[in-house]
Amino acid sequence: HYYGFTEQQRSAAQTYHDQVGENYFTDLVEIHEALGLVTHYHDAVAVVPITGKTDLEVLLLSHTPGNSLYKLLYYTITTFHQKFYQPCHSISMAWPPVVSGPRGAQAQIPAIIRVA
């Protein structure tokens, strides 16, 4: 079970999957990529959301937590400090469930790190 913003995203992803039949996070990345707001690093992606809650918000996504995601987090924090001269005020993380739920993999959340 998730809380707060992560639960909102999980719930939105489930509703999106139920109504549209597609993976919410895959489509989210594709839309932002078309706008030039995505950077890939191996099997992880950084997304600057058009509906972010704050300035300088970045979502880091990967199917599973691993080295690519952790390195992308490091690079993101380094960029905040060295390029934008801004500290990261908030970092939240959520991992996908260890065991798939009854609704199947299409509605599962990826590993998510929100940096703001």
The secondary structure of the chain in percent helix, strand, coil, rounded to multiples of 5, reads 40, 20, 40
Q: Which domains does the chain have, with CATH numbers?
A: 4-115 (3.30.428.10)
Distance CA 66, CA 56 (A): 24
Per-residue pLDDT tens over the stretch 5-22: 888 888 999 999 999 999
Q: What is the dihedral of CA 56, 86, 5, 24, to 10 degrees?
A: 30
Per-residue pLDDT tens over the stretch 43-79: 999 999 998 888 889 999 999 999 999 999 999 999 9
Query: Measured at the alpha carbon of residue 73, what is the angle toward residues 30 and 4, in degrees to the nearest 5?
Result: 75
Q: Is residue 54 within 8 Å of 116, Cβ to Cβ?
A: yes
pTM, entire model: 0.88
Does pLDDT of 25 surpass 60?
Answer: yes
